Amino acid sequence: MHLRPWSTADAPLLRGASTDPEVARQLGGAPFADDAAAAAFIATRYRHDEHARNWAVVDATDTVVGSVSATAIEYVHGTAWISYWLTPAARGHGLATRAVVAAADDAFALGLHRLELGHRTNNPASCRVANRAGFVVEGTERERLRYGDERFDVETHARLATDPVPDVEPLPRSRS
């Protein structure tokens, strides 16, 4: 398993992953209608440059099994927002934690100081990933998210460049 930038050739896999409601929420709300829509999303939203570090998590056959991103990169204060998802089949093996640690290493290497993330308070797996990846709980934003008619509290975490390095082996990163 490793991280690499997204390619528009990943569109069929991204479209398939978007049929999972939890993944779809991270991609804008609904599954992609077709591969072209997924490819357009990759080209515009899953960019990989100094302003957005969107990584595909891929297996040994270069098949996408998930995503981890550092976005909203801001160099004045040195901050970014971390998000992640895995396909249902890839969950339960600690993979997200290793992916988040790898993305954090990359973000800190850009010179950033503070990485932030948030999860619904009813998403214990995401909370566990955040804690294991060294992101300290900072508070709760009440009813921060709305999905359909329901609103959800969000717990926020952050990791500073000066925080302890978690005892987790990061996934390797490749440039292509």
Residues in contact with ligand COA by CB under 6 A are 22-23, 84-86, 91-96, 119, 123-126, 128-129, 132
Question: Which residue, 79 or 123, has its beta carbon nearer to ligand COA?
Answer: 123
Question: Which residue, 45 or 132, has its beta carbon nearer to ligand COA?
Answer: 132
Q: How many angstroms separate the first and last alpha carbons of the chain?
A: 14
- At its nearest, how many Å lie between ligand COA and the CB of residue 74? 20
- State which residue has the least CB distance to ligand COA: 91
Question: Which residue, 73 or 127, has its beta carbon nearer to ligand COA?
Answer: 127
Q: Determine the Cα–Cα distance for residues 155 and 141; give it in Å rounded to an integer.
A: 6
- At its nearest, how many Å lie between ligand COA and the CB of residue 141? 13
- At its nearest, how many Å lie between ligand COA and the CB of residue 144? 11
Q: Determine the Cα–Cα distance for residues 125 and 13; give it in Å rounded to an integer.
A: 23
Q: Determine the Cα–Cα distance for residues 46 and 55; give it in Å rounded to an integer.
A: 8
- At its nearest, how many Å lie between ligand COA and the CB of residue 83? 6
DSSP-derived secondary structure for 37-70: HHHHHHHHHS-BSSS-EEEEEE-TT--EEEEEEE
Per DSSP (E only), the strands in 75-170 are 79-86, 114-120, 136-147, 150-160
Question: Which residue, 84 or 108, has its beta carbon nearer to ligand COA?
Answer: 84
